Amino acid sequence: MRKIFVVLSLLLLSVMPAAAGAAGWQEGLAPPGVPAAAFPAPSRKVAGIVTDTWRDEQSRDQAGEAERVMRLLDVKPGLDVADVGAGSGYYTVRLARRVGPQGHVFAEDVVPDYLDRLARRVDAEGLAGSVTLVHGEPHDPRLAPRSLDLALLVHMYHEVTQPYGLLWNLRPALRPGARVAVIDARKETASHGTPPELLRCELAAVGYRQTAFYELQESTYLAVFEPAAGPASPTAIRPCSASQT
């Protein structure tokens, strides 16, 4: 009888998805930040969440995407990096290998199913010690204060329903000198991209200054920002409209 119970328990464990509190993901690494209601909505369309990856990983590697981005951002061993909107983890696993055991990757997303799958991938690739999976909210990545040297937002900005909240609540997680890097396509937000001028305007509205800009493959780009002087409170944020930029 006891043997049957043990076998059944093991079977159950093997089919159970990773869940909050288990070896999988965590429900935020910081207490909730400023609530969503405090922020203006974006004055442009927001794309829906339709997939956990931008392109198949083979074609991205053939284009040298992650290697080039990590070189441009000078990602090196020991760095603590957030992969915000990590999805299936194209960047998570490559960043984890690059930052090594002295660094860490915080892979954050808002979709529990995506985090479950990513937890299994991280385990399977032997990277569990270098990656922490975090369930955030659309207006708040729930990352720990002063935990990051770099936050990377890849092909996800146009899906953020509360971009002003996300950027505002991300800021306490940045250490002095930390950067925020955004990769997106040169398309309208409804078509799963963000025009670079609109991105610059929305980040400036929350108090981030663009410091570098690079063209990538397939009409995509990498824009790098640093925290700068900004509005005193969320109610002082003036949303950008697509036509203004």
Which residues are CB-contacts of 32 (< 8 A; sequence separation ≥ 6)? 137, 140, 142
E strand or H helix at 129:
none
- Pair 25, 136: CB distance under 8 Å: no
Q: Which is nearer to ligand SAM, 159 or 229 (CB)?
A: 159
Whether 17 and 24 have beta carbons less than 8 Å apart is answered as yes
- In three-state secondary structure terms, 93 is helix
Q: How far is the CB of 157 from ligand SAM (least distance, A)?
A: 8
Q: Which is nearer to ligand SAM, 6 or 37 (CB)?
A: 37
Q: How far is the CB of 169 from ligand SAM (least distance, A)?
A: 10
Task: Scan residues 93-112 and list those touching ligand SAM (CB under 6 A).
Answer: 108-111
Q: Name which position in 43, 53, 210, 245 contacts ligand SAM (CB under 6 A).
A: 53
148 vs 28: CA distance, rounded Å: 15
Give the residue, chosen from 24, 28, 103, 136, that forms a contact with ligand SAM under the rule CB under 6 A.
136
Residues 6 or more apart from 195 whose CB is under 8 A from it? 186, 187, 188, 189, 242, 245
- Draw the binding track, 142-181, toward ligand SAM (x: CB under 6 A; -: no contact): ------------xxx--xx-----x---------------
CB 200, min distance to ligand SAM, A = 19
Minimal distance, residue 145 CB to ligand SAM, in Å: 18
Stretch that binds ligand SAM, among 29-37, 52-60, 122-130, 172-180 (CB under 6 A): 52-60
Residue closer to ligand SAM by CB (options 4, 188) is 188
Q: How far is the CB of 50 from ligand SAM (least distance, A)?
A: 7
Tokens 């609530």, located at residue: 35
Residue of 184, 142, 127, 177 lying closest to 159 (CA atoms): 184
The residue count for binding ligand SAM (CB under 6 A) is 24
Hey, is 205 helix, strand or coil?
helix
Rounded least distance, CB 13 to ligand SAM, Å: 26
Alpha-carbon span 94 to 91, nearest angstrom:
5
Q: Phi and psi (nearest 5°) for 238?
A: -105, 110
Query: By CB under 6 A, is residue 68 in contact with ligand SAM?
Result: no
Q: Map tokens 């640093």 to a residue.
A: 226
Given 40, 112, 138, 145, the residue binding ligand SAM (CB under 6 A): 138
Q: Write out the H or E segment, with its range, that includes residue 109.
A: strand 104-109
| Site of interaction with ligand SAM (CB under 6 A) | 49, 51-54, 84-87, 90-91, 108-111, 114, 136, 138, 154-156, 159-160, 166
